[in-house]
Amino acid sequence: MKKFLQKIRFEEWKAWIYLAPAVALLLVFTVWPIINTLRMAFWEDYSIMKELGGTLGNEFGIKNFEKVIKYQGFIDCLKNTMLLTVLTVPISTILALVIAVCLNAIKPFQRFLQTIFFLPYVTNSIAIGMVFEAMFNIVGFGTNNPSFGIINNILGVFGADPINWINAGSGYWQNIAVLVIYIVWNALPFKILILLGGLQSVNKQYYDAAKIDSTPRLRVFTKITVPLLSPMIAYVVITGFIGGFKEYSSIVGIFGDDMQAVGGESLNTMVGYIYDALGNQEGRASAAALILFAIIFVVTMINMYVSKKKTHY
Amino acid sequence: MKIVLQNLTKVFPSRNKKSNEEVVAVSDLTFTIPDGKLVGLLGPSGCGKSTTLYMISGLQKPTGGQIFFGEDDVTALSPENRGVGLVFQNYALYPHMTVKQNILFPLQNLKGADKLDKNTMLERAFEAARLVQIDNLMDRKPSELSGGQQQRVAIARALVKMPRVLLLDEPLSNLDARLRLQTREEIRRIQRETGITTIFVTHDQEEAMSISDVIVVMKLGVVQQIGKPQTVYDNPVNLFVAKFLGTPPINVFKAQVANGKLVINGEAVLDVPGATDREVFAAIRPEGFIPAENGAMTCELSSIEVMGRDVSIVSKNEAMLTPTIRSIVDADYKISATAQNVKFDLKPHKVFIFDSETEERIYFGGQTAPETGI
């Protein structure tokens, strides 16, 4: 050991000293929790042990995983998460692309509009969730004189009947629709920012060349803009999937921490399940966290594989 | 397709809102480009030649004036509807498409009656590719091509839709010296084979002179002279044109016309009948000097560069306005490299004199103004 320490030159020690604060923080708040998660997930009687002061059993195994996978509540959470992700990522990406292209095409107010589109990004998502709740809510639901939120009022202008979006007895798909609208709206600013940045770095001469060749607008979009933006699109899709699988706060924002409309189906997600289980079933929470990690990992790998084939750089 | 530019003007508004300095890029341009010719727009950077090209393409709207293709006024037409082919300075090939897809792209845009079926499109694409000799590279991406090959792809893409006019923006500037020589021959050949009226922009006078049927020399947005390259070279209308054309460049002297003689540095070097007495600039082409024992013009010898066929004599003179006087003479003249001075007689048709204030040409003896127009 002494010899080894002597071999390391002082300059290298200096580098390590500079790195020390960051390394220490990472070790305490990232590396140790990860190791602990692994330990808890595979340590079958962790919760009981904790209650009894750590005296009983220390068997390692995959019982926690079995329980989690077989538990219907977890399956529902997985289903909700998948559904929200699969719906919101394509919708938000396509919308962001269209908005970014439009923003890029207009000269006046571009900065102003850019700021407006970016606002959701710097706003607290729980706060936004509460605003969305108010928009979809029906105050005095079930009484003779209900007061509708703005969305139902707008629907009323077009002659449609008010819809019970989130109140007691509302249907699963109405709930999901509200969540999808909220999540998409919340996800737009980041995507718009990235895609707009990509658009602005595209060489304008490609568009001049397309103009000279009498290219119709739609074809310019599909054959030139989208392929040239493909690296950015791949990036927002991959980060979108990762974010989607970690969806949680939006549901709390709208439905509160019951994660469901009164009398409705549970809208809980993977992360929600993990939070719930953390209370007294740390082993299952850890196992669920690892399952979530594995899913995100696999999906990201698939994403990367596909985008490598489809992007041209 | 004949192209007529009439009083074409382009003014760029000032970038800075506080000052109202407008930039006049092109001012009152009027000339006609005959059908099937190769025309070089020539001038130093900032002279408006590229702006002119882009106005012809439609990518820039003129501030004033009109553009005609044949008898059609195309001034108000957008680039999509002009039927021009344009080769950009850096080619602007779509990086995500193969060469074949790049060349096919303009054809796939055709609509209505012009629409082609797949086989015809492929045939046309390969035909264009063969013309520029890249038909063996059809499945490569632009990033896998050399600069010269990219250039050819860009030309093929511009030609494939059989444009009425082919426009080239600094087509050779991104190529190395050897490739440049080769590619300019190619452009000439392709233009001859297709017979498409072609306009190209360059700041390289040699490039313009060597392949153009007609050159248009521009300076600060104003056309200086239009004509066949040899005519413009032999008969420049002002000092700018004389200085801009020719390698090595023309030698310029501060001089006077006195009693029908051209006086440089106190020596009467040439009879200039018909020119009135005044201060002038005298410009003498390098090949306009004849070494002679009792020559009229005395210069201080600096060095002699032997180039085989020719000899280049570098000398100095008090009245010169260029850094050195460079004259190119036949190698048969034997000049001693150790001599102090060298004496020259001048060939009258290689000597141009210009008014010292307006820098406009003063014609003397048998010299006459070049015919205007093409």
Domain boundaries, chain B: 3-234, 248-362
**Residues of chain B positioned with their CB less than 8 A from the CB of A213:** 105-106, 109, 157, 161
How many residues belong to chain B?
A: 374
Strands B310-316 and B297-306 turn out to be: antiparallel
A208 and B92 in contact by Cβ < 8 A? yes
Query: Please, what CATH class does the domain formed by B3-234 belong to?
Result: alpha beta
Residue in B199, B155, B131 with CA at minimum distance from that of residue B145: B155
Residue in A23, A200, A194 with CA at minimum distance from that of residue A107: A200
**Residues of chain A positioned with their CB less than 8 A from the CB of B108:** 219
Q: Evaluate whether residue A6 is within a structural domain.
A: no
Residue in B119, B184, B121 with CA at minimum distance from that of residue B155: B184
Query: Counting Cβ atoms within 10 Å, is residue A213 exposed (0-12), middle (13-18) or buried (19+)?
Result: buried
Find the residue in A nearest to B58 (Cα): A212
ipTM metric: 0.80
- DSSP letter for B360, please: B
pLDDT digits (tens, 9 = 90+) for A169-226: 888 999 999 999 999 998 999 999 999 999 998 888 999 999 998 888 899 999 999 9
Query: Counting Cβ atoms within 10 Å, is residue B298 exposed (0-12), middle (13-18) or buried (19+)?
Result: middle
B310: Cα within 13 Å, side-chain hemisphere: 12
CATH number for the domain harbouring residue A162? 1.10.3720.10
**Residues of chain A positioned with their CB less than 8 A from the CB of B141:** 312
Tell me the shortest Cα–Cα distance from A209 to chain B, in angstroms.
7
A212 and B86 in contact by Cβ < 8 A? yes
Is a pLDDT exceeding 90 seen at residue A295?
yes
pLDDT digits (tens, 9 = 90+) for A237-291: 999 999 999 988 888 888 887 888 887 888 899 999 998 888 778 888 999 999 9
A205 and B92 in contact by Cβ < 8 A? yes
Q: Evaluate whether residue A23 is within a structural domain.
A: no
**Residues of chain A positioned with their CB less than 8 A from the CB of B94:** 206, 209, 223-224, 227
Query: Helix A226-245 to helix A72-105 angle, to the nearest 10 degrees?
Result: 150
Q: d(Cα A27, Cα A38) in Å, to the nearest integer? A: 15
pLDDT more than 70, % of chain A: 92
Confidence at residue B23, expressed as pLDDT on a 0 to 100 scale: 84
Which residue ranges in chain B fall short of pLDDT 70?
17-19, 372-374
Residue in B258, B88, B96 with CA at minimum distance from that of residue B173: B88
Residue in A165, A174, A204, A187 with CA at minimum distance from that of residue A242: A187
Q: Please provide the distance, in angstroms rounded to a whole number, between the alpha carbons at the two ends of chain B.
A: 15
Angle at the Cα of A69 from the Cα atoms of A65 and A74, rounded to 5 degrees: 120
Confidence at residue A55, expressed as pLDDT on a 0 to 100 scale: 55
Confidence at residue A72, expressed as pLDDT on a 0 to 100 scale: 87
Angle at the Cα of B352 from the Cα atoms of B347 and B354, rounded to 5 degrees: 155
Q: Please check whether residue A136 is in contact with residue A165, taking contact to mean a CB–CB distance below 8 angstroms.
A: yes
Q: Evaluate whether residue A42 is within a structural domain.
A: no
Confidence at residue B161, expressed as pLDDT on a 0 to 100 scale: 86
Q: d(Cα B67, Cα B81) in Å, to the nearest integer? A: 14
Average pLDDT rounded to a whole number, residues A75-97: 94
Amino acid letter, B131: L
> Can you give the pTM of this predicted structure?
0.78
CA dihedral A151, A153, A155, A161 (to 10 degrees): 120
Tell me the shortest Cα–Cα distance from B148 to chain A, in angstroms.
19
Q: Evaluate whether residue A163 is within a structural domain.
A: yes
B contact test, residue of A214, A233, A310, A312 with most B CBs within 10 A: A214
Confidence at residue A276, expressed as pLDDT on a 0 to 100 scale: 87
- Cross-chain CB nearest to B92 (options A209, A214, A219): A209
DSSP-assigned letters across all residues of B97-139: S-HHHHHHHHHHT--GGG---HHHHHHHHHHHHHHTT-TT-TT
B84 and A203 in contact by Cβ < 8 A? no
Residue in B265, B242, B270 with CA at minimum distance from that of residue B255: B265
Confidence at residue A90, expressed as pLDDT on a 0 to 100 scale: 95
Chain A touched by B105 (CB under 8 Å): yes
The 3-state secondary structure of B172-223, one letter per residue: CCCCCHHHHHHHHHHHHHHHHHHCCEEEEEECCHHHHHHHCCEEEEEECCEE
B105 and A212 in contact by Cβ < 8 A? no
Size of interface A-B (CB pairs under 8 A): 55
Element (H, E) at A65: helix A63-70
Residue in A179, A178, A121, A184 with CA at minimum distance from that of residue A152: A178
Tell me the shortest Cα–Cα distance from B77 to chain A, in angstroms.
12
Q: Please check whether residue B132 is in contact with residue B155, taking contact to mean a CB–CB distance below 8 angstroms.
A: yes
Confidence at residue A52, expressed as pLDDT on a 0 to 100 scale: 67
A208 and B78 in contact by Cβ < 8 A? no
Tell me the shortest Cα–Cα distance from A21 to chain B, in angstroms.
45
Which of residues 209 through 238 in chain A touch B, CB cutoff 8 A? 209, 211-216, 219, 223-224, 227-228, 230
Amino acid letter, A162: P
Confidence at residue A86, expressed as pLDDT on a 0 to 100 scale: 94
User: What are the tokens at A173?
Assistant: 């798909």
Expressed as residue numbers, the domain containing A118 is 62-310
B85 and A205 in contact by Cβ < 8 A? no
Confidence at residue B17, expressed as pLDDT on a 0 to 100 scale: 67
Q: Please provide the distance, in angstroms rounded to a whole number, between the alpha carbons at the two ends of chain A.
A: 48
Tell me the shortest Cα–Cα distance from B125 to chain A, in angstroms.
14
Q: d(Cα A119, Cα A161) in Å, to the nearest integer? A: 32
Region of B365 (left: φ > 0; alpha: ψ -120 to 50; beta: rest) is left
Number of domains in chain A: 1
Q: Strand pairing partners for B263?
A: B256, B268
Cα-based distances in Å from B310 to A190, B6, B246, B251 = 69, 45, 16, 18
Confidence at residue A28, expressed as pLDDT on a 0 to 100 scale: 94
A223 and B86 in contact by Cβ < 8 A? no
- Cross-chain CB nearest to A209 (options B88, B96, B161): B88
- Cross-chain CB nearest to B84 (options A212, A219, A227): A212
> Backbone phi, then psi, for B246, in 5-degree steps?
105, 135
Which of residues 151 through 210 in chain B touch A, CB cutoff 8 A? 157, 161
> Backbone phi, then psi, for B278, in 5-degree steps?
-175, 175
